[in-house]
Amino acid sequence: MLYRIRLDLAFSDIDPADDIIDKVKDHIAEAITINPGEKTEEPGFASLEQCYHDEDPTSECVILCSFVTPL
């Protein structure tokens, strides 16, 4: 059995987002890839983005940092 966390949270301030990303940095090395080497392989990931979907006109998100589970 595995324990999976999925998050998609938006904040109007960078501080809580940075706190969450700091926790991800602390634990990303412990995370595993599901079914490594298989067609159904699922690496874990996390990213911090600047999102402009609330603006008019909207613009694409900008990835500030991202992390992927090690294989």
Q: What's the pTM?
A: 0.81
Domain boundaries, the chain: 14-68
* pLDDT in the model for residue 71: 64
* pLDDT in the model for residue 70: 81
Instruction: Give me the helices (H) in the chain, please.
Output: 14-27
- As a whole number of angstroms, the distance between CA 43 and CA 39 comes to 12
- As a whole number of angstroms, the distance between CA 37 and CA 39 comes to 7
In tens, the pLDDT along 21-71 reads 999 999 999 999 999 999 999 999 999 999 998 999 999 999 999 999 986
pLDDT tops 90 at residue 11: yes
